[in-house]
Amino acid sequence: MPSPASDPDGEQPEVSDRRVGGEVRTADRTSARTAALNQLLLAAVVSVLAFLMLGNGFTGDVALFFSGVLVVVALTAVAIALPWSRVPLWWTALIPLGDIVGIALMRMADTTAGTALLWTFPVLWLASSFALAGFVGGLGLTVGMYAITATLAPHQSVSFGTLLLPVVLTAIGATSYSSARRAAAQRRLLRRQAEILAQALERSRHQEQTLSEVFDTVDFEVVRIERGVLTTITSDAHAHLHQLMPDRDGVAPVLYQADGTTPLPPDEQPLARALRGEEFSDQRVWFEPVPGERRALSITVRLLPGAVDHDDAGAVMVSRDVTAEMRALQARDMLVSSVSHELRTPLTSIIGHIELALDEPGLPAAAASSLEIADRNADRLLTLVGDVLKASSTSDGVALAMQPRDVDVLDIVKSSAQSFITGESSRNVTIDLSRALPARGYVDPLRLRQVVDNLVSNAIKYNREGGRVSLVTATRGRKTLILVEDTGVGLDEDDLANIFQRYYRGAAVRRTDVEGSGLGLSISREIIRRLGGDIFVHSTLGVGSTFTVSIPSVRPGADADASVGRSDPQEAGVT
């Protein structure tokens, strides 16, 4: 039997909640509909019962019987006509209570007619709709009416059947009350869950709107790659990546490397690498979205969790338009190269005339000392100009021309160390060569000496007074390793990420009084990479740094076992 507190059609309540017997009830239009339905059902049963009893020759008190029927019919009319949404909810309980009285009148008319079973309807209604108060009150009134009718009935004897009805009504009422409690608890739980879901949905919508607004204000595009398909998850106002995709005929656009002139092979293009499952950062490419207009993009790809475990979770690709930045860098390199070339000629002339002046016989000692200072500083300035030229992307490339051959790496490292041990810039730093083992390399000896000199110079300049620099060399297979370990200022995570960039000087380095251009490591890495190797760094702030140079030990295509002076890196302490 429906409860006034619930809407069978699932409609939401329209007025405020009211608390009855510890349960939250709702007085709204559903109360009127539920009361009318319950009462109409009872009225229909009473009407059928009255018709059957009169048709079969009713032997009881007809007037009293129809008085009870009229009470039920009148209450039905009230249930249909009364605007329950405007009256207190408790008034609804008057209808089933009145039904109990009406059924009692019908029973008093004839105790043998079985009309006492009609009490089941109001007992169910009160127990299910009005909580414990309705259950106890309705059952108490019903049992009282039953006792009165049994007492007043002539020749009524107490038997098992007499006691059975109150027990049955009690069981029915308790079952209805318990079911109503469970239903109410489930409704409350569903309401709370609905509120939680509504709040979560609202938060999700707000976050999505915020994310969309944020991405609309930045100059990069984020796309999701899943199963070979690109799905834009931000505003596609720029849509750079879509212009890099092959056309309908499968023809990929022409892309260029960071220098803007070297074509990028199709298998090295960002999309191809991303679809292969590669992860990379800041790959810069040039392309022409329209003829005559060139744009540069910086593209980064990160695999999503799960993609690492080969679950095909996909990746996220971020593109950023760096055209203005790249053109500014090109303009800077052109300016630096031009200025450096203009400075080199007068510097060479200055150094030449200073050397001629130093060779003059009878030169006073004070003048000679001043000229020597000027000569050293002019040499240093010329070296700096050379570094700037080498770092410039518009350099003619002559300065970095390579002539690799088989060399003795140990001799190069020892010569470099000796020049610093006997020099004025040693700063009482100990250079340890105990772990430098015989090693061979297929490199340009002059360029390798330039790299080793730069690394050892840095290890001394940024070391503490009286510190230590350890030089390690070893060969395994086709690779030779050169390690430069120091006990200096060290580098933090930001420095490690940018240490090989041009003109970059780390925070810890800037706190020292040592001057520098920030070009040495950039040039050194460029040299080693042109020789077919690379430079790596490991550092702890305040403890020291270790730079590892990896170079080819033999000529490409040659047998590594034929290399002379092969050594075991573990013997030198290299892992």
361-397 pLDDT, tens digit per residue, is: 888 888 888 888 788 777 767 776 776 666 665 444 4
pLDDT of residue 480: 94
Was domain 402-572 assigned CATH 3.40.50.11540? no
Q: What is the pLDDT of residue 50?
A: 82
The mean of the pLDDT values for the chain is 78
From residue 373, how far is each of 161, 308, 423 by CA, in Å? 130, 60, 15
Model pLDDT, residue 418: 86
Please, which pLDDT band fits residue 23 given cuts at 50, 70 and 90? very low
Could you tell me which residue, 310 or 258, shows the higher pLDDT? 258
This prediction has a pTM of 0.42
Can you give the residue ranges of every domain in the chain? Answer: 17-195, 220-321, 329-398, 402-572
Dihedrals phi, psi of 110, to nearest 5 degrees: -160, 105
Mean per-residue pLDDT, 46-56: 81
Of 545, 553, 531, whose CA–CA distance to 474 is shortest? Answer: 553
- The answer on pLDDT for 518 being more than 80 is no
CB–CB of 177/146 below 8 Å? no
pLDDT of residue 394: 43
Between 94-109 and 29-55, two packed helices, what is the crossing angle to 10 degrees? 10
- Dump pLDDT digits (tens) for 99-152: 889 888 888 887 777 788 888 889 888 888 888 888 888 888 888 888 888 787
Q: What is the pLDDT of residue 470?
A: 94
Ranges 36-45, 306-315, 490-499: which has the least confidence? 306-315
Residue 272: name the closest of 231, 241, 240, 304 by CA: 241
**Structure confidence at residue 574 (pLDDT):** 60
Instruction: Give the helix/strand (H/E) hosting 167.
Output: helix 160-216
The pLDDT, as a whole number, for residue 563 is: 46
What pLDDT was estimated at residue 537? 93
pLDDT value at residue 536: 93
Mean pLDDT of 520-549: 90
The answer on pLDDT for 509 being more than 60 is: yes
Contact assessment for residue 254 and residue 288, using Cβ atoms and an 8 Å cutoff: yes
Whether 62 shows a pLDDT value over 90: the answer reads no
According to the model, what pLDDT value does residue 248 have? 58
pLDDT confidence of 534, banded at 50, 70, 90? very high
Phi then psi dihedrals of residue 17, to 5 deg:
-75, 150
pLDDT band at 487 (very low <50, low <70, confident <90, very high): very high
Highest mean pLDDT among 23-27, 278-282, 514-518, 563-567: 278-282
Residue 444 or 343, more confident: 444
Contact 153, 110 (CB under 8 A): no
- Least confident range of 94-98, 116-120, 268-272, 501-505: 501-505
Q: Which residue has the higher pLDDT, 426 or 372?
A: 372
What's the pLDDT score for residue 507? 64
**Percentage above 90 pLDDT, the chain:** 14
Residues 507 and 469: beta-carbon distance below 8 Å: no
Distance of CA 322 to the CA centre of its chain: 25
Instruction: Quick: pLDDT tens for 333-348.
Output: 777 666 766 777 787 8
With vertex at residue 118, the alpha carbon angle to CA 86 and CA 112, rounded to the nearest 5 degrees, is 150
Query: Is residue 441 over pLDDT 90?
Result: yes
What pLDDT sits at residue 408? 94
Residue 74 has pLDDT above 70, yes or no: yes
Identify the pLDDT of residue 257: 85
Above 70 in pLDDT, residue 3? Answer: no
pLDDT (0 to 100) of residue 401:
67
